[in-house]
Structure 1
Amino acid sequence: MAEGSVIAMSETDSAQLVWIRDGGRIRVVLYTSTGLKRDINSKAATVRLSNLRLPWVTSLPTKKIVYRHPTHLKQHGTDVVAGPVFAILAGNRHFTGSRADFRDMLETGKAGGEFVYVLPTECVTEGKTWTGYVRIGYQKWIPIPCPLPEAVYNRIPNRVLERIKPALAAKRQLEHFGIPMFNPDYFSKAETYDVLRHAGLGHYLPRTLDLMTWSGFSAMLRQSRGVYLKPTHSSVGHGIMRVDRSGSEWRVRVLKNLKHSEYHAHSLDAAWKLVQQNRIPGKYVIQRAISLVEWEGKPCDLRVLLQKQGRGWHVVGKGVRVAGAKSITTHVPAGGSIVALSELLARSFPDRAKDVEEKVESLALSCAEAIDAHYNGQLGEMSMDIGIDKDGKGWLFEANSKPMKFDEPQIREHSLRGVLRHLTELRRGPEVR
């Protein structure tokens, strides 16, 4: 068999990583049938899995099995290598709010023979094995000793956990071991806009002021009928506000914790006071509101998912989000709904639907390349909120380094496989990227 070649295995005669309870500890072995080991013509007593050497066994103590997972085998000279091994970096041992995503990723990896485990930041140590978490039943996760991952997918769920000491220490340790990781941090809206302007892509951005001041607020509302006030370090729309002229009054709408509030002011000064009362801590940007295409009388925008494949960025999928009743955002958790992009474009631009869609894709890819260059190529996926105005022009509202789960099943399936594909590319090194 040629060196580096994959060993062919039938479904009934596959290789498995098996964790066995041995006294007071859990150890991992490689299990294959006697026939498969004979077919490989290997006399080795062990197999390499990432940084570990595993015993190679052809029988198992069934009652002591804790967890088992299919794996691939490759021949390297006289050596046999199992794998690959990937990890999802989580915020802590509870990984609250992310379990459904982790479950889907682990199941996708299992179907493809790629061992994926959840790695809380505090479990990244100087040791040769790390405590990883795997799922063995409905909402049942268990810790097992795992080899060091060959590449890591960063899914720390929020900005606070991304910046605390265990997360920073974990990233330093991954770098020390030379383990590649993609999507190192959350984006800042103001920084992203600045990056795009410097890349010559400012024409895709609605007029935006990077600081929320009274002078900027009042000047922009004298020039346009409505503005958005967006926290630079927030997600799911939390803390976002919209201010519009409504007859002789000003209407101030606020989204906090997925709940909407609405206030009315008789003057711009009074509207500013409402803004100050309702803002969340941190910096805000002011952005001109765009008159978007509508579905059944409600404004809508696009969620575009992009992933890196090899050396380039690709659009994985595009989904339309329709604003809920009285909502200032199109986020589904905040009351938004979904419609097919083909239907929206056919209704809004019957004579040039394809042209409008192609321009949206071009916008997304150009912006992804510019943002990734700013992060020195460390990104592997991102999503974008893109609006289309009634003239068919695309506008970038926001880019997200930790995309939320897409509700469209096909996009979801492609995204899971895309993450594993990029982890495989990182594992193989820069020559394939």
Structure 2
Amino acid sequence: MKPVKVGLLGLGTVGTGVVRIVEGHQDDLRSQSGSPIVIEKILVQNREKARSITIEPSKLTEDPYEIIQDPEIDVIVEVMGGVQQTKEYILEALARGKHVVTANKDLMAMHGPEILRKAQEQRCDVFYEASVAGGIPIIRTLIDGFSSDRITKIMGIVNGTTNYMLTKMTQEGVSYDDVLKEAQLLGYAEADPTSDVEGLDAARKMTILSTLGFRADVALEDVSTKGMTGVSKEDILYANRLGYVLKLLGIAERQDDQFSISVQPTMVKNTHPIASVNGVYNAVYVYGEAVGETMFYGAGAGELPTATSIVADLVAVVRNLKLGVNGLQQTPVYKEKKLKTDEQISSKYFILLHVEDRAGVLAQITQIFASHEVSLESVLQQPNESNPEAEIIIITHDANKAAVDRVLDQFRTLGVIRKVKSVYRVEG
């Protein structure tokens, strides 16, 4: 039985996990795919570096083209990261008829449609399950499991770092600065945490999920993105008092073929299943017209969870090789992209105001809401001994984003309002 030969680009944490699984699960992989799977060559930055696994020195190379141009290698597994140079490697591999498995969310968010079109031209597979939510098989679920349904909403915790930070802030009252330092010490956050805490990582993942869920060519710039750097202990305290939990959510919604996509700190009702997803775990909530509500939960990162998704994709490539059907999976993009305007985006909002503590202020505030046709679900004033100003908490009924923005703009010019302290979308 002829083995399928694999070239591995990268031998970091995830690449090491791929080697462990492929070498340790040979019987299972042969049974599931119909062929032995052999890692033939591995691209590394330094062949002499000490490693946690034993690898034959002859398998290591510092030249990517030694792998990409090797006619014996059938599949390229890319776990090296990066965008532009990596894109060139993958496009050349496809041009040479090699199939590709990647965990690169940045690459697929920015250049996914182009890479998939090239793969189709060359009758090659490109699979990228590990690019979103680690070990959760959400991409294959959206492509295959929901192929007969119409997805109306995808809502997810897709960044483990920020979920860990918000969980610690909620459960232990830790400040943002302290929990960020802790996350960096534990290796959950990078030395430069911008991609995580500003929501950029989550936005890239929502670009991929929205493209698959709505079958349209969603670009990264279509995702309205707000990070968690402004979340305070005060916000979390008020959320808890009102029966909510703060989570950094990616939210993609569709109605009548128009859709909106955002990443933002969101107040989630504490009875909603996604509110109980804590620590570094991820969860993706999918609403389908036929199936209703479903949720997918699991480890969003790590050596073996992510490597498991990569090897599952590798098995799928080998099965297709056996059947002679590589590259026949249709590109997910076939619908026109129609983004909602701010007038069409609707949700509830939590608003915290610091105002002058005197009679008549609340009446002025409610009048401004009424003038922009934003109705209120609840209004309450909370005592805060550390703040000499009055604090007013407002939760609106469903209101369009443009109207709420006009209200907030007017608040910022109203003398009795000292500060618009916090504004959060409300879910559940």
What TM-score comes out, normalization by structure 2 length? 0.33
Q: Would you tell me which structure has more helix in proportion to its own residues?
A: 2
What TM-score comes out, normalization by structure 1 length? 0.33
